[in-house]
């Protein structure tokens, strides 16, 4: 085989990169010119357009990145970031990105597990960051609210509680999650057994389509309105705002966290939990966290700790009675329980107890300080005690430090809704969701490989214990290991590899809606819905 002269190679590389730089610079200039034509005489618009030449470009880009995996020097960076102040700015961005062949990303809270709201592996690309679309209007009389897509769920919860002590909303636990991505991908939280997921409580939406037209539910039609409530917004347009139905909450709710290690009978309790958690009274949601800890009984020995973390929509007396009837094995006593308001329970589950309520307004703009990889599964059958013991053995021996396993129960309202009512198909027959979260701080590719290899192996190891055909996964816990689209267009068959896992029977309808509303496949990413 002929070897290439290193000097020639370096000349070639610099030539190619200067060509690609020149092409990018050309697109970049044309794109910026296009924006200024679309929104003429707008001083305010030019102030919210950031290119790598702006001193604040890096801080704007990083402000909502939650995961160090996507802040490396080789992570693709946007040619332009826009933080629109008005709908016309978003319309201009869509129009000009289409005209000039730019890929398009929209970011709300930036919590996407694979960074798809701010990283595109097809370049060049532009990010529209909805940080200035945060307005929230609460209508107590009708128990509804309009919330703009750039708001966080913490801001939403705060604004609801500001107006009413007896209204709440059913969505996730982490206050900095954005409603743009979270609601369009599902939105599971501590009231989901009582009221369903966030997407089940959306009654209208405003969205900009690929032609820059602004729609509400009526003008977008029921197919598109169906698709954006669980099918992910990014395949269909830019969601501007959601109209949501608020839900009643009692003035007093009760929370508890009970920890049990293997030495304290955790295996039997976890086993039993699988028969109880999806069937118990809908007012009770009993989540289960599993972590490896050092045993307190034997020096240095590792064990598994099961933490039963619960919200009950009612007072402590009823809860203790209910637990004695349905899950006496846990041995819950009054002293384990704390009564509080619903909004204080939001702080409790977010590990913010004791903080002032307005901490919920903090979007936490600090840069990411850890690496993270998440995966998910669904259980449709309980795992046997023998199976649990095998899992514990695997976790205890795992050559990684910080791993968390979370089981979130279904049943109640989530499971009453039919599997085709929204694109979120995990309904009747689903016992619980399994979430695998691996966090590390060590830099470098060998650490990256060590962690990613382990979590992939663990995911394979879990196969016999979870749903199969398809092996279901939760869109909001996005995982590119499940499969990715090609650059350009991807066939329905190829995309089905990951699409059926997230959407089951709904995947085909999603592809029909996509073909209808975005036939040119402008709104695309590594796991966007394909056109037919």
Q: Residue 96 and residue 69: Cα distance in Å, rounded?
A: 30
Q: Which is nearer to ligand FAD, 71 or 261 (CB)?
A: 71
Token pair recorded at residue 81: 């970031």
Q: Which residues bind ligand FAD (CB under 6 A)?
A: 66, 105-113, 116-117, 130, 149, 172-174, 177-178, 180-182, 184-189, 233-234, 238-239, 476
* Residue 239 Cβ vs ligand FAD, minimum distance, rounded to whole Å: 4
* Residue 107 Cβ vs ligand FAD, minimum distance, rounded to whole Å: 4
Q: Phi and psi at residue 168, in whole multiples of 5°?
A: -150, -165
Q: Looking up tokens 């699409």, which residue turns up?
A: 499
Q: Which is nearer to ligand FAD, 187 or 320 (CB)?
A: 187
Token pair recorded at residue 353: 């107890």
Q: Assess whether the previous peptide bond of 477 is cis (omega < 30° from 0).
A: no
* Residue 115 Cβ vs ligand FAD, minimum distance, rounded to whole Å: 7
Catalytic residue among 118, 378, 477, 502: 477
Q: Phi and psi at residue 89, in whole multiples of 5°?
A: -70, -35
* Residue 7 Cβ vs ligand FAD, minimum distance, rounded to whole Å: 43
CA distances from 404 to 58, 114, 303, 304, 466 (A): 31, 18, 13, 11, 17
**What would the 3-class secondary structure string for 412-465 be?**
CHHHHCCCCCCCCCCCCCCCEEEEEEEEECCCCHHHHHHHHHHHHHHHHHHHHH
**DSSP 3-state assignment of 101?**
coil
* Residue 440 Cβ vs ligand FAD, minimum distance, rounded to whole Å: 15
Q: Residue 512 and residue 276: Cα distance in Å, rounded?
A: 39
Provide DSSP, 243-309: EEE-EE--S-EEEEEEEEEGGGTHHHHHHHHHHHTTTS-TTEEEEEEEEEEE-SSSTT-EEEEEEEE
* Residue 317 Cβ vs ligand FAD, minimum distance, rounded to whole Å: 29
Q: Which is nearer to ligand FAD, 173 or 316 (CB)?
A: 173
Q: Residue 173 and residue 191: Cα distance in Å, rounded?
A: 10
Any catalytic annotation for residue 477?
yes
Active site residues: 477
């Amino acid at each position: 085989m002929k070897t290439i002269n290193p000097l020639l190679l370096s000349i070639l590389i610099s030539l190619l990169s200067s060509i690609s730089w020149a092409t990018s610079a050309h697109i970049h200039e044309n794109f910026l010119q296009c924006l200024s034509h679309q929104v003429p005489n707008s001083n305010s618009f030019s102030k919210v357009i950031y290119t790598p030449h702006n001193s604040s470009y890096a801080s704007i880009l990083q402000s909502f990145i939650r995961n160090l995996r996507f802040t490396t020097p080789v992570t693709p960076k946007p040619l332009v970031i826009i933080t629109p102040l008005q709908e016309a700015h978003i319309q201009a961005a869509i129009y000009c990105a289409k005209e000039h062949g730019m890929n398009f990303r929209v970011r709300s809270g930036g919590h996407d597990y694979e960074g798809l709201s701010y990283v595109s592996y097809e370049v060049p690309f532009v990010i529209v960051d909805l940080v200035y679309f945060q307005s929230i209007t609460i209508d107590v009389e009708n128990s509804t609210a309009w919330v703009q897509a750039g708001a966080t769920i913490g801001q939403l919860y705060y604004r609801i509680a500001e107006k009413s002590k007896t209204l709440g909303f059913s969505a996730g636990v982490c206050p900095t999650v954005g409603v743009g991505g979270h609601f369009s991908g599902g939105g599971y939280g501590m009231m989901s057994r009582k009221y369903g997921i966030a997407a089940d409580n959306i009654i209208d939406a405003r969205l900009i389509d690929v032609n820059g037209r602004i729609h509400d539910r009526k003008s977008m039609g029921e197919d598109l309105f169906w698709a954006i409530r669980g099918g992910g917004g990014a395949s269909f347009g830019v969601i501007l705002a959601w109209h949501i139905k608020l839900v009643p909450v009692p003035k007093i709710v009760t929370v508890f966290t009970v920890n049990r290690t293997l030495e304290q009978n955790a295996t039997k309790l976890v086993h039993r939990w699988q028969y109880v958690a999806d069937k118990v009274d809908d007012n009770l949601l009993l989540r289960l966290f599993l972590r490896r800890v050092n045993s307190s009984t034997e020096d240095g020995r590792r064990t598994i700790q099961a933490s039963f973390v619960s919200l009950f929509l009612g007072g402590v007396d009823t809860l203790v009675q209910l637990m004695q009837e349905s899950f006496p094995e846990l041995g819950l006593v009054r002293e384990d329980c704390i009564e509080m308001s619903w909004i204080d329970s939001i702080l409790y589950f977010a590990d913010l107890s004791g903080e002032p309520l307005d901490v919920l307004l903090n979007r936490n703009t600090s840069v990411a300080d850890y690496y993270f990889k998440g995966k998910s599964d669904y259980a449709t059958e309980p795992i046997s005690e023998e199976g649990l013991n095998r899992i514990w053995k695997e976790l205890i021996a795992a050559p990684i430090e910080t791993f968390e396993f979370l089981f979130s129960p279904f049943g109640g309202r989530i499971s009453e809704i039919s599997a085709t009512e929204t694109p979120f198909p995990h309904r009747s027959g689903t016992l619980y969701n399994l979430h695998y979260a691996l966090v590390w701080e060590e830099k470098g590719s060998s650490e990256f490989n060590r962690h990613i290899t382990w979590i992939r192996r663990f995911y394979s190891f879990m196969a016999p214990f979870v749903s199969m055909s398809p092996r279901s996964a939760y869109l909001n816990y996005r995982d590119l290991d499940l499969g990715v689209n090609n650059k350009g267009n991807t066939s329905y068959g190829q995309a089905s590899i990951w699409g059926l896992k997230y959407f089951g029977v709904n995947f085909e309808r999603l592809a029909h809606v996509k073909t209808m509303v975005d036939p040119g496949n402008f709104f695309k990413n590594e796991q966007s819905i394909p056109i037919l």
